[in-house]
């Protein structure tokens, strides 16, 4: 009996391994790819932004192909009102503020530069409840961040979340030196960045980094007695991450969505984020609520509807997470002789004077570029919302 049981288990494992074949959808994809439409019609304050691109084959290494030169507008069901969107960057079409009538339905109309026309299904004007809070707590030595919200009318039921995170960081080593050419054009000399004011350069010392994740975050309370979302996990900050080295901020965006939009996003998440084992959902076609009226059989990828964007921002400082112990992994500075032959073979950026001598800069310290110049990993322009 035990032998039969072992054979049965081995057979199951062999079947599982044998089934791990690459899935290739049987689609007659045009050479230009299918149209991909992302965004929403904002019924609240703030801009409406629609991004249009083209799908690429799974095997392709090409970057995202933006759909430029299109005519894009939001129109009501009676076609008595429309709001044109301007192309503010390649493939991105924006209107600064659309004022909608809550009693009407709206859709997106697109005409590409090639003359094809596309429309989304009409959508009711949907309101979004306020965000109750963005909370966090220490978990497994890291920090887990959550979204919390509710709807007293019990009418939202389906939610989508997006977020942007920004953090402040600094260079491990400050610098007042640079490598330059001498008067006759010979490179590999080290001198002060500003000879009239030999101080550490603040432009490469303090920076900020912003990350906008693309993973799909959705939740439903449809099976709950109350329309309450509590402790929905947004993101986890790994222990000792540079994100919490000084100050971290997360800006949560919340949307009320329809059941159809939820199902579309749920399928997209399964197709893009959960593949990898025989127990995961297999890839499937999902055409959303957009249609090509020029060629009705042509698939279109995306789901556009009307929703209201609600936002809430919080900050977390290093002082609030004692024992964080961020380590930049930067090696100690190296002292080198300030002569062209030595400087030519020394990697990194000069930081400070090690020893003066007759020329004032006989020996200098060097460190890795990324440990000296924070603009390699971020920007030195302080965000307008930063304290």
Question: How high is the pLDDT of residue 292?
Answer: 96
- Mean pLDDT for the stretch of residues 353-374: 86
Tokens of 77: 């069901």
For residue range 238-286, list pLDDT tens digits in order: 999 999 999 999 999 999 999 999 999 999 998 887 655 444 454 556 6
Task: Return the beta strands (E) in 55-205 as ranges.
Answer: 65-66, 71-76, 82-89, 92-95, 105-111, 117-120, 123-124, 131-139, 142-150, 158-170, 177-180, 189-192
Mean pLDDT of the chain: 89
| Residue 33 confidence (pLDDT) above 60 | yes
Cβ(351)–Cβ(177) under 8 Å? yes
Poorest-pLDDT segment among 95-99, 185-189, 207-211, 332-336 = 185-189
Question: How high is the pLDDT of residue 284?
Answer: 58
- Mean pLDDT for the stretch of residues 300-309: 96
> Residue for token digits 């969107």?
85
- Mean pLDDT for the stretch of residues 26-34: 66
Question: How high is the pLDDT of residue 187?
Answer: 76
Domain boundaries, the chain: 27-125+259-304, 171-208+327-376
Cβ(376)–Cβ(328) under 8 Å? no
- Judging by DSSP bridges, how do beta strands 228-237 and 306-307 pair with one another? unpaired
| Residue 224 confidence (pLDDT) above 70 | yes
Question: How high is the pLDDT of residue 274?
Answer: 63
Give the SS3 label for residue 310.
strand
Task: Look up the pTM and report it.
Answer: 0.86
- Mean pLDDT for the stretch of residues 126-153: 98
CA distances from 344 to 201, 225, 336, 348, 354 (A): 23, 71, 11, 11, 18
pLDDT band at 356 (very low <50, low <70, confident <90, very high): low
Question: How high is the pLDDT of residue 6?
Answer: 40
**Pairwise CA distance, residues 39 & 108, whole Å:** 10
Percentage of residues of the chain with pLDDT beyond 70: 85
| Residue 339 confidence (pLDDT) above 80 | yes
**Pairwise CA distance, residues 270 & 287, whole Å:** 14
**Pairwise CA distance, residues 342 & 345, whole Å:** 6
For residue range 253-262, list pLDDT tens digits in order: 999 999 999 9
Question: How high is the pLDDT of residue 161?
Answer: 99
| Residue 287 confidence (pLDDT) above 80 | no
Q: In DSSP terms, which residues pair with 285 in a beta bridge?
A: none
Cβ(161)–Cβ(253) under 8 Å? yes
Tokens of 63: 């970057």
| Residue 100 confidence (pLDDT) above 80 | yes
pLDDT band at 195 (very low <50, low <70, confident <90, very high): confident
Tokens of 254: 């919340």
| Residue 25 confidence (pLDDT) above 80 | no
For residue range 151-172, list pLDDT tens digits in order: 999 999 999 999 999 999 999 9
pLDDT band at 75 (very low <50, low <70, confident <90, very high): very high
Dihedral sign of CA atoms 198, 199, 202, 205 in order: positive
| Residue 233 confidence (pLDDT) above 80 | yes
> Residue for token digits 């977390």?
316
Q: By C-alpha distance, which of 275, 264, 270, 266 is closest to 301?
A: 264
- Judging by DSSP bridges, how do beta strands 300-302 and 35-42 pair with one another? parallel
- Mean pLDDT for the stretch of residues 60-76: 87
Residue 350: CB atoms within 10 Å: 27
Eight-state DSSP code of residue 281:
P
Contact residues for 318 (Cβ-Cβ < 8 A; gap 6+): 244, 245, 246, 247, 324, 326
Cβ(286)–Cβ(301) under 8 Å? yes
Question: How high is the pLDDT of residue 301?
Answer: 94
Q: How wide is the angle at C-alpha 301 spanned by C-alphas 296 and 302, nearest 5°?
A: 115
Residue 15: CB atoms within 10 Å: 10
| Residue 78 confidence (pLDDT) above 50 | yes
Tokens of 193: 């960045």
Cβ(174)–Cβ(200) under 8 Å? yes
Dihedral sign of CA atoms 338, 340, 346, 347 in order: positive
Eight-state DSSP code of residue 19:
T
**Pairwise CA distance, residues 221 & 259, whole Å:** 11
Question: Which of 184 and 224 is assigned the larger pLDDT?
Answer: 224
């Amino acid at each position: 009996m035990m032998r039969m049981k072992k054979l049965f288990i081995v057979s199951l494992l062999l079947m599982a391994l044998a089934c791990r074949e690459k899935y290739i959808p049987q689609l007659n994809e045009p050479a230009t790819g299918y149209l991909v439409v992302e965004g929403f019609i904002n019924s609240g304050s703030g801009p409406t932004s629609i991004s249009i691109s083209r799908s690429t084959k799974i095997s392709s290494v090409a970057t995202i192909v933006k759909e430029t030169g299109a005519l894009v507008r939001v129109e009501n069901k009676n076609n008595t009102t429309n709001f044109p969107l301007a192309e503010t960057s390649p493939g991105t079409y924006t209107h600064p503020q659309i004022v909608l009538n809550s009693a009407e339905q709206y859709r997106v109309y697109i005409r590409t530069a090639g003359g094809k026309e596309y429309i989304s299904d009409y959508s009711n004007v949907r309101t979004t409840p306020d965000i109750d809070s963005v909370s966090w707590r220490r978990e497994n030595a890291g920090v887990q961040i959550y979204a919390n919200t509710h709807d007293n009318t019990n009418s939202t039921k389906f939610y989508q979340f997006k977020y942007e995170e920004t953090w402040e960081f600094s260079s491990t080593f400050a610098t007042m030196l640079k490598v330059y050419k001498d008067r006759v054009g010979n490179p590999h000399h080290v001198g002060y960045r500003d000879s009239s004011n030999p101080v550490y350069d603040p432009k490469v010392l303090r920076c900020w980094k912003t990350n906008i994740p693309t993973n799909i975050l959705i939740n439903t309370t449809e099976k709950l007695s109350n329309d309450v979302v509590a402790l929905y996990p947004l993101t986890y900050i790994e222990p000792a991450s540079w994100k919490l080295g000084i100050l971290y901020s997360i800006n949560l965006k919340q949307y009320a969505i329809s059941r159809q939009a939820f199902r579309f996003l749920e399928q997209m998440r399964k197709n893009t984020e959960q593949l990898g084992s025989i127990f995961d959902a297999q890839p499937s076609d999902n055409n959303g609520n957009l249609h090509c009226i020029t060629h009705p059989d042509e698939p279109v990828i995306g789901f556009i509807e009307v929703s209201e964007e609600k936002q809430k921002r919080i900050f977390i400082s290093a002082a609030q997470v004692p024992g964080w112990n961020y380590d930049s992994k930067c090696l100690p500075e190296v002292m080198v002789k300030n002569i062209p032959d030595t400087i030519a073979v020394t990697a990194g950026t000069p930081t400070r004077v090690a020893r003066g001598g007759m020329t004032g800069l006989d020996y200098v310290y060097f460190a890795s570029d990324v440990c000296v110049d924070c603009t390699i990993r971020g920007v030195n322009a302080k965000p307008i919302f930063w304290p």
